[in-house]
């Protein structure tokens, strides 16, 4: 965890250059509870499990709503398919439409040990399906994910590079680092920092902190609530996030009753 925190501060201190802003394209996102907000965990759904997620996001300065639909499937215990479908409503009170549909495969190739983190990679891409202002004409890329658990805290670090489809736009590099703290069996405190150069700039123009919590409503249903703010340009000034994720099929627990004979 100490190394993760030092890495986080290193990135934070080295990214204050440039000042540009384009539309905040969502891209591929982790499906709860296997991530923080935008920070992926190396953990994944077990084989045969699948998850459906829905998120509502309210962004202020720039103003818009975003509705995100997610699906993931555990191909086996180490490999997971992930998809993200975002829809933007009334961007700057004018434009609405879908963003590019994002797809990805996550593979955990190193398991966590007492002293070593678990490590996974993602190969991802986006289909050029979005409205022009919300699209990069598709993209392809990949990333590396590191996760380590220490006591009740799980720390995660990600770095991604993506090549966009439009020759008029810049390729994107992004990083994310965060943690989830298990305050109880069904309640986690979340925090992350996310930075990137958007497709409108060759410099880092997003450095956003996000905080919130996640609770397990039932054994298969997770609710996540969060708030984020951009530390660099105050754009967005803030964003509010609310999501619900269902993991299916529901496991049936067998209750074994033991009877003692009277002696």
- Residue 87 belongs to a domain with what CATH number? 2.40.160.40
Task: Give the integer Cα–Cα distance in Å for 82 and 124.
Answer: 9
Cis peptide leading into residue 108 (ω within 30°):
no
Find the largest Cα–Cα distance for the chain: 85
Beta strands in the chain (DSSP E): 50-60, 64-74, 79-91, 95-98, 101-110, 118-127, 139-150, 153-164, 172-184, 187-197, 206-216, 221-230, 238-248
In a domain, 231, yes or no: yes
DSSP 123-146: EEEEES-S-GGG--S-EEEEEEEE
Average the pLDDT over 66-92 and give the result: 96
Instruction: Tell me the pLDDT tens digit for each residue of 134-193.
Output: 999 999 999 999 999 999 999 999 999 999 999 888 899 999 999 999 999 999 999 999
Structural domain including 20 reads 2-246
CA of 185: how far to CAs of 33, 37, 112, 181, 222, in Å? 13, 20, 21, 11, 12
Worst-scoring range by mean pLDDT, 37-46, 142-151, 235-244, 245-254?
Answer: 245-254
Rounded to an integer, the average pLDDT of 18-25 is 57
179 inside domain: yes
Domain count, the chain: 1
Q: Which pTM does this prediction carry?
A: 0.86
């Amino acid at each position: 965890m100490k190394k993760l925190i030092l890495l986080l501060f290193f990135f934070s201190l080295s990214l204050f250059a440039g000042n540009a802003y384009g539309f905040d394209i969502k891209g591929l996102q982790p499906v709860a509870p296997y991530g923080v907000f935008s920070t992926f965990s190396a953990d994944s759904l077990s084989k045969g499990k699948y998850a459906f997620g829905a998120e509502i996001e309210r962004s202020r300065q720039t103003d818009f709503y975003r509705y995100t639909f997610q699906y993931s499937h555990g191909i086996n215990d180490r490999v997971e398919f992930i998809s993200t479908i975002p829809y933007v409503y009334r961007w700057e009170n004018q434009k609405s439409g879908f963003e590019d549909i994002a797809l990805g495969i996550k593979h955990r190739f190193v398991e966590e040990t007492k002293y070593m983190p678990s490590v996974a990679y993602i190969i991802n891409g986006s289909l050029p399906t979005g409205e022009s202002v919300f699209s990069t004409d598709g993209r392809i890329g990949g990333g590396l994910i590191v996760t380590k658990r220490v006591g009740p805290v799980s720390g995660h670090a990600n770095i991604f590079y993506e090549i966009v489809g439009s020759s008029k736009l810049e390729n994107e590099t992004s990083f994310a680092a965060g943690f989830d703290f298990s305050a109880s069996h069904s309640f986690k405190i979340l925090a992350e920092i996310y930075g990137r150069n958007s497709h409108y700039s060759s410099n880092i123009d997003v450095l956003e902190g996000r905080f919130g919590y996640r609770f397990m409503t039932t054994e298969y249903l997770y609710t996540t609530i969060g708030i984020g703010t951009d530390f660099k340009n105050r754009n967005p000034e803030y964003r509010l996030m609310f999501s619900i994720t269902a993991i299916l099929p529901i496991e049936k627990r067998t209750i074994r009753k033991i009877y003692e004979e009277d002696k």
